[in-house]
């Protein structure tokens, strides 16, 4: 301990001892913040010191935010290897690397990431569908799943009055959005969702808003909503680049969504 001008400054060793004592007394909480401002709190249950650079490497492992295309579905849990649907342990990865690997693998629906050993486990199963025997409690881990609802815009309190292409018993917007995006028998362009209804998910092949479907809108409870597909989510942005030599004539005065829709219509 150093003494300077009547001020006691703890030595590095003493600070480490104090922090370790707080961890062992379960007084230290870690708070992670996602881009959608959701807060995830986990309890620090272990404390290790190796060398002066360890704290920087630890930050490199967990200091990245939740990818905007992912969401935390179970804080304080991890996937159990070999339980239920096929899972793959990717070993030690950074938090952002683990999410990116899952997003790049089309069959990956969810993952679990553990802070202590940087363990990254991928799964083909949707995050809202895990059974209790497929996850195990661990305060330093979190289970994340792909976001699907962000691919849609929402018209609150409105639903389409036309007959749906398919009706499903899904009670969450994420499940309904996923069903629409994963549909292969037809092109699902929008869906209605009313959480209070037993058959609360209705998939449609029309895209609202447009001039042809405005008369088909029905006003309902504000809990309900019509969700229409954002065409722009089908594309990846490349900074400071533009296309040259295209055989398609350029279009003017279009919004991003209008331009994306026009591109999707080209066959």
Q: Is 54 left (phi over 0), alpha (psi -120 to 50) or beta?
A: alpha
Name the architecture of domain 149-234: 3-Layer(bba) Sandwich (3.50)
Q: What is the pLDDT of residue 63?
A: 47
Q: What is the pLDDT of residue 98?
A: 93
Instruction: Give the pair of three-digit tokens for residue 159.
Output: 């639903």
Q: What is the pLDDT of residue 6?
A: 46
Q: In a 10 Å sphere around its CB, with 0-12 CB exposed, 13-18 middle and 19+ buried, how is residue 207 labelled?
A: middle
Q: What is the pLDDT of residue 14?
A: 64
Residue 259 has a CB neighbour count (10 Å cut-off) of: 14
How do residues 55-65 score in pLDDT, each as one tens digit? 445 445 444 67
Q: In a 10 Å sphere around its CB, with 0-12 CB exposed, 13-18 middle and 19+ buried, how is residue 104 labelled?
A: exposed
Q: Output the tens digit of pLDDT for each of the chain's 267 residues.
A: 444 444 444 556 666 667 777 777 777 777 766 556 666 666 666 666 555 454 445 445 444 678 888 999 999 999 887 655 667 888 889 999 999 999 998 889 999 999 888 999 999 999 888 888 889 999 889 999 999 999 999 988 888 888 899 999 998 999 999 999 999 999 999 999 998 888 889 999 988 766 555 556 676 677 899 999 887 777 777 777 888 777 788 888 888 878 887 887 776
Q: What is the pLDDT of residue 22?
A: 74
Residues of the chain with CATH 3.50.4.10: 56-146, 149-234
Q: What is the DSSP letter of 15?
A: H
**CATH number of this structure's domain 56-146:** 3.50.4.10
Q: Is the pTM of this model over 0.75?
A: no
Q: What is the pLDDT of residue 20?
A: 72
Residues 6+ apart with CB under 8 A from 227: 149, 152, 153, 154, 155, 173, 176, 177, 180, 190, 191, 192, 193
Q: What is the pLDDT of residue 205?
A: 92
How do residues 89-148 score in pLDDT, each as one tens digit? 888 899 999 999 999 988 899 999 998 889 999 999 998 888 888 899 998 899 999 999
């Amino acid at each position: 301990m150093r003494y300077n001008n009547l001020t006691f400054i703890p030595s590095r060793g003493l600070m480490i001892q104090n922090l370790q004592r707080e961890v062992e007394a379960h007084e230290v909480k870690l708070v992670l913040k996602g881009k959608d401002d959701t807060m995830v709190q986990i309890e620090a249950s272990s404390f290790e010191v190796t060398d002066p650079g360890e704290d920087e490497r630890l930050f490199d492992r967990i200091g990245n935010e939740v990818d905007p295309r992912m969401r935390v579905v179970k804080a304080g849990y991890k996937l159990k290897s070999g339980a239920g649907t096929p899972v793959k342990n990717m070993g030690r990865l950074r938090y952002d690397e683990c999410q990116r690997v899952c997003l790049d693998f089309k069959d990956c629906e969810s993952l679990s990431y553990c802070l202590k050993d940087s363990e990254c486990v991928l799964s083909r199963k949707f995050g809202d569908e895990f059974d209790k025997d497929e996850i195990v409690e661990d305060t330093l881990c979190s289970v994340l799943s792909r976001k699907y609802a962000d691919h849609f815009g929402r018209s609150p309190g409105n639903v389409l009055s036309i007959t749906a292409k398919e009706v499903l018993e899904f009670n969450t917007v994420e499940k309904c959005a996923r069903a629409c995006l994963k549909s292969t028998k037809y092109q699902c362009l929008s869906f209605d969702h009313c959480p209070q209804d037993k058959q609360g998910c209705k998939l449609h092949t029309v895209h609202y808003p447009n001039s042809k479907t405005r008369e088909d809108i029905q006003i309902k409870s504000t809990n309900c909503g019509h969700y229409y597909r954002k065409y722009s989510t089908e594309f990846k942005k490349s900074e400071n680049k533009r296309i040259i030599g295209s055989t398609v004539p350029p279009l003017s005065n279009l919004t991003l969504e209008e331009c994306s829709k026009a591109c999707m219509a080209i066959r």
